[in-house]
Amino acid sequence: MRSIATFLFGLAIATPALANVPYLEVPACPDKGTITYNQSVPDKTDFPKTQVDLCYGDKSISITFTAYEETNFYYNSSYTTNDPIYEYEVMETFIARGTNDPQTYLEFEVAPNNVTFQAFIFNPSKSSPLDTAYLTTPLDDGLSATTTLDKPGQTWTSKVEVPLGLFNVDEGQAKGTEWRMNFFRTVVSPSTFPEQELGAWSPPDGDSFHVTPFFGDVRFV
């Protein structure tokens, strides 16, 4: 017989819009809002500690991704801008302006060798992306990453700038804006490839990161 717990679990899966998502306040630079996460997707088991520091400036969002407990530093050296670097190890953010569960959002990723992936995703089902609009000149756009590896310290860090204009926030107008974001990391080694461990700030209920009702709430204060 179905227990109440099973029934409630089934209900939660069927109505992801009711997901209880985390909230972050992000100050103007040089102050920072900080999140750390250590839960896998979708099972919420232990995952290597991952940190994200955010602040906003006049023209861009500054994001520092820090991967702790990293032992693989695994990437494909033949991959370049906008190649599927997410098959290997990356840190990622999905970003949309506004408060609703987004249908369109920026997907930004960086690999340990500093290669980036950047595209707007069109995902009208909010759970299964339909189309991908690549940003093909990220450096001209002001979308950049600077990556440092500390192999003895088992850490890699990428400092990223994301232009506010991509979200129609004019110069100096970011204070008070509201956002939906999620942050992710993939972990895989040569011996486990292509099976990845996935981690998230707000873990979705399935193997895909693209379930927008799970994006956290973010406010620029």
Ligand X SMILES: *[C@@H]1O[C@H](CO)[C@@H](O)[C@H](O)[C@H]1NC(C)=O
Interface map 42-81 toward ligand X (x if CB under 6 A):
----x-----------------------------x-x---
Please give the structure tokens belonging to residue 170. Answer: 């004019």
Closer to ligand X by CB, 93 or 147: give it. Answer: 147
Q: Are 146 and 158 in contact (CB under 8 A)?
A: yes
Residue 103 CB, nearest distance to ligand X (Å)? 28
What is the DSSP annotation of 165-201?
Answer: GGGT--TT--TT-EEEEEEEEEE--TTTTT--EEEES
How many residues does the structure list for the chain? 221
Q: Which stretch binds ligand X (CB under 6 A): 22-30, 128-136, 141-149, 167-175?
A: 141-149
CA distance 47 to 37: 8
Q: Which stretch binds ligand X (CB under 6 A): 3-11, 95-103, 137-145, 163-171?
A: 137-145
Give 144's strand partners.
Answer: 161
Contact pattern from residue 111 through residue 130 relative to ligand X, giving x for each residue in contact according to CB under 6 A and a dash for the rest: ---x----------------
> Among residues 188, 149, 183, 172, which one has the least CA distance to residue 68?
149
Q: Kindly tell me which of 85 and 164 has the beta carbon lying closer to ligand X.
A: 85
144 lies in the site for ligand X, by CB under 6 A: yes
Q: Which residues bind ligand X (CB under 6 A)?
A: 36, 38, 46, 76, 78, 114, 139, 144-147
